Structure 1
Amino acid sequence: MKTRISAGGIVSRIFILILLILTFVPLFVMFNMSLKPNVLIKTDFWGLPTEPYWANFVKAFSFSFKPVLNSLIVCAISLVGIIINVSLAGYAFGCLKFKGKTILYNLVLAVMMIPYTLMIVPTYEIVTKMNLLNTYWSLIIPYISGQQIFGIIIAASYFQGLPKDLFEAAEIDGANEWGKFFIIALPLSKPILITVGITAVVAMYNDFIWPTVVLTSGDEIKTFCQIVFNNAAGKGSNDLGLIAAAFIIGTIPLVVSMASTLKYYIQGMMVGAVKG
């Protein structure tokens, strides 16, 4: 039996195809630029390289390795703090009963409604008073405090939906609140925590505004996006092929982390959608 496709189905497929083209054309252009010398990019922008110009990647690796390492260090330390706070706070809001719980949870929701840009000036003043400018901690502490909000909300929703029988059985066996958290809640929350972690790492790794504000002393401590975006804006190298190759190299850590945890990320997104 043949399936008849309606006019709306045809239009939706065409629309999706256009969106896919608009998504992949910039990626194709970036790869194409990375394999051509700068002169060929300016004279024949859309043309394919007759021979791959691998020197772009060699040069890009030498100047982007340190910024990528800086970004990974910041993301790794921040991620540990985010996961600890999200798991503990999410469990408290989802499973415990205490005075002021509703008020505190509403405050967390209210913080999420505040635009990121409005927090730049007061956060900068706090970091300045703490003498943390031009250090990793000027990024790590604000990242932990800012990126944990969304994670706490979805983690609390997930923990609240866990079967109460599991916690009652653990309590009968003599487990205290910490035991119920480590034995039951934490292992079951793996997909949610991985989803929170990936979302936070992508946001931190791709952040350009905050590092530009607090890291101004030199290139040794600057992040990947900060260095490469400055070069792309003409504040350093104007070699477009080199910059394109640097973008590709800098994207590899995100691609690897996403690919290695994709199964848990999808599970976390589905669970979060159902629980929410």
Structure 2
Amino acid sequence: MKNRSWKAVGRLAFLVIVLIPTYYPLFIMVENSLKSTTNYVKDPLGWPSQLIWHNYAAAWSGVHQYFWNTLYVGILSVIIGLVAAAMSAYVFARYEFPAKEVFFALYLGLLMIPGVLTLIGQFLEIKNFGLINTRWSLILPYAAGSQALGVFILRTFFSSIPEDLFEAARVDGASPAYMFLRIAVPLAIPSLGTVSILGILNVWGDYLWPTLALSSSSKYTISAGIMQYAGSFTTLVPQGNIFAAYVIAAVPVVILIGLTMRYYLSGILGGSLKL
């Protein structure tokens, strides 16, 4: 019993040591968000001499438009991407057609191409469609960009569903659309949730593409908007506002991961049963 107790203490101590450098930057960011400019310049790593909560109100007034832009773009791009990926993955999993594995390999090949290599072609395509400086210039590329990983995860899960379920549905006269919507999709909810989370995080954390596709900064998503907001400051503006804006941008992601981690891991495991 004593050996087990010491092992548990050792594991706990190791986790604490690992977590300290992980969470310390987040702690410093929150700490600096409550400081005045003078306090920050004098002691950027110390505790605030006075807690200035109105930094958050000032930061929210400067970044709230970027926040709602991100939600709008993220929700639409995830819905479009999820519908397309689920249908494609279901066809790959449950139907046979010529060169199926070749096409699936091409999907997987997209995962190996760095996104930066496609920026020029993507920009020219969006420009040719006349979508530059519209929110659709973000929504459509984000939806398309989620296809490769989404199809990979969902196809593996759909392939693991027993054929007996579909055979019984066919005997009862179920149509292919019915089997997809009433059998495959409900069972794949954890995997669908995983793909959705990854899509939202991609939209939330992307800085480069919004700055290329949008000429109007008022349409920026949160990462590009935060940089625009921080870059607009002078030394006369409280530096705590910048850190407060960073915290505001980080909190939804922390909450999302905290509330959905179980379903995220379940979807990842469910999509890797046959790997």
TM normalised by structure 2 equals: 0.92
Deviation at 1:117? Answer: 0.6
**Among 234, 237, 252, the residue aligned to 2:233:** 237
Equivalent position of 2:141 in the other structure: 142
**Among 214, 218, 221, the residue aligned to 1:220:** 218
Equivalent position of 1:2 in the other structure: 2
Matches within 5 A, 1:68-147: 68-147=67-146
- The whole-number CA distance in structure 2 between the counterparts of 1:20 and 1:44 is 24
* Structure 1 residue identity aligned to 2:140: I
* Structure 2 residue identity aligned to 1:203: N
* RMSD (CA atoms): 2.1
Matches within 5 A, 1:17-56: 17-56=16-55
Q: Deviations over 1:41-63 (max 9, x none)?
A: 01121221233101210100101
Deviation at 1:150? Answer: 0.3
* Structure 1 residue identity aligned to 2:233: S
Equivalent position of 1:246 in the other structure: 245
* Structure 1 residue identity aligned to 2:111: M
* Structure 1 residue identity aligned to 2:3: T
- The whole-number CA distance in structure 1 between the counterparts of 2:87 and 2:2 is 54
The 8 Å contact of residues 39 and 49 in structure 2, kept in 1 or not, is answered as: no
- The whole-number CA distance in structure 1 between the counterparts of 2:98 and 2:176 is 17
- The whole-number CA distance in structure 1 between the counterparts of 2:233 and 2:147 is 36
Matches within 5 A, 1:189-200: 189-200=188-199
**Percent identity of the aligned residues?**
33
- The whole-number CA distance in structure 1 between the counterparts of 2:259 and 2:13 is 32
Secondary structure at 1:3's aligned position in 2?
A: helix
* Structure 2 residue identity aligned to 1:2: K
Equivalent position of 1:257 in the other structure: 256
The 8 Å contact of residues 37 and 240 in structure 2, kept in 1 or not, is answered as: yes
Deviation at 1:93? Answer: 0.7
Unaligned runs of at least 5 residues, structure 2: none
More deviation, 136-145/259-268: 259-268
Equivalent position of 1:155 in the other structure: 154
Question: How many residues of Structure 1 are paired with residues of Structure 2 in the alignment?
Answer: 271
The 8 Å contact of residues 156 and 272 in structure 2, kept in 1 or not, is answered as: no
* Structure 2 residue identity aligned to 1:271: G
Secondary structure at 2:149's aligned position in 1?
A: helix
Change (3 A) 1:20 1:257: closer
- The whole-number CA distance in structure 1 between the counterparts of 2:131 and 2:227 is 23
Change (3 A) 1:39 1:275: farther
